Structure 1
Amino acid sequence: MSKYKIILNGLIKENPTFVLLLGMCPTLATTTSALNGLSMGLATMLVLLCTNTVISCIKRITPGQVHIPVFIIVIAAFVTLLQMFMSAYAPDGINKALGIFIPLIVVNCIILGRAESFACKHTPLESLCDGVGIGLGFTFGLTLLGVVRELLGAGSVFGVVLLPETTNMLLFILPPGAFITLGYLIAIFNRFKAK
């Protein structure tokens, strides 16, 4: 399978946010702004890249009876490293906004699902490409959702004010706005994908 095809597959055909509908908890909770969505997407992508590659490398030496616990330990190790790195170097605002959702990457069904369905059946390079595609798809989905919610709810994108305060609709910053926005974006994405 072509490496470009694997990457495009994660962006379009198997987009975790708009097609597979995986990882909905961080998708809905962390996308109150474009920056939060982008940050969560990149954090998840980094863990996905590392775990896919390592799991693909150790698939032959991992007994079938314990491969899920081994996958979880590998994921947890990379999430712990990511959390320590973010605590040391990430701005306080991002750390506070993502909060509990960084440790919850360990049980994110996108990462465990890709480890089970792709990484343990393909080469390390193909698994790395799958991580890039799925990671970019997830990051794109979260960032787009964050852009729309921030624009409609606060009148800004990445903190840059674009609309007057009188046009802000608080609903889109609140949890119901996440569901409404996600529903419309899924419909739009699937409409374009069908063409």
Structure 2
Amino acid sequence: MSTTTVKSYQEISQDGLWHNNPALVQLLGLCPLLAVTGSVVNALGLGIATILVLVGSNLSVSLIRNFVPEQVRLPAFVMIIASFVTCAELLMQAFTYELYQILGIFIPLIVTNCVILGRADAFASKNPILPSVVDGFMMGLGFTAVLAVLGAMRELLGQGTLFENMQLLFGPAAESWKIVVFEDYSFLFAILPPGAFVGMGILIALKNLIEQKR
């Protein structure tokens, strides 16, 4: 593998995780991000589903990029994304049904997530298969990381716990992962939508501060 190729993959990874993070920099997909991050398990559930859809759609779009006419390009991309969202939805119904019920409408709404269509149009439709898959995975991982951090902040400040109900995603063995930081504690503001906006603003401000220090 040449140095140029390695650097290219490094840049793709750095863009997805930090420099061009879909949530902190592009500010895409904020509706589900703010709506489901009341706990870590909800955030991870949506994040993993988004990664699966991003990787699958980027792979498929890259495969057909030379065969789809310009006139039907976007409708074709949406159909591909919708197909992978349906697969993710069926997998969640089969293996994590309780979590699927909690996330509700935000699983099928992954179809409308601008992160996914944006990567399909801006990257996968112009690049070979492997870079497209890496781009989809890293963008999804960056999005999931922000979801998880925001979910941890809101769960800790709102309920005084971390990793509650992780068995909904990882099975009965994960029930013991729960950490009680504050006993008999509740701060409703952190769990409600205003808390999500404030938490997201703090994360964006922290990223900008780190960039300025660097």
TM-score scaled by length of structure 1: 0.96
Q: How does 1:1-195 map to 2 (within 5 A)?
A: 2-92=8-98, 94-159=99-164, 160=178, 161-166=180-185, 168-194=186-212, 195=214
Structure with more contact order per residue of length (Cα contacts < 8 Å, sep ≥ 6) = 1
Secondary structure of the equivalent of 1:165?
coil
Secondary structure of the equivalent of 1:70?
helix
CA distance in 2, matches of 1:39, 1:153: 19
Q: Give the paired residue count.
A: 193
- 1:31-73 per-position Cα deviation (integer Å, ceiling 9, x unaligned): 0001111111111011000000110110000000110000000
Change (3 A) 1:25 1:156: same
Amino acid at match of 2:181: L
| Structure 1 unaligned residues grouped into runs of 5+ | none
Query: Displacement of 1:165 after TM fit?
Result: 2.4
Over the aligned positions, Cα root-mean-square deviation in angstroms equals 1.0
- 1:105-160 per-position Cα deviation (integer Å, ceiling 9, x unaligned): 11110000001100001111000010111011000000000000000000011112
CA distance in 1, matches of 2:102, 2:115: 21
Secondary structure of the equivalent of 2:61?
helix
CA distance in 2, matches of 1:53, 1:134: 14
Query: Displacement of 1:193 after TM fit?
Result: 2.8
| Structure 2 unaligned residues grouped into runs of 5+ | 165-177
Q: Is the 8 A contact 1:19 1:190 kept in 2?
A: no
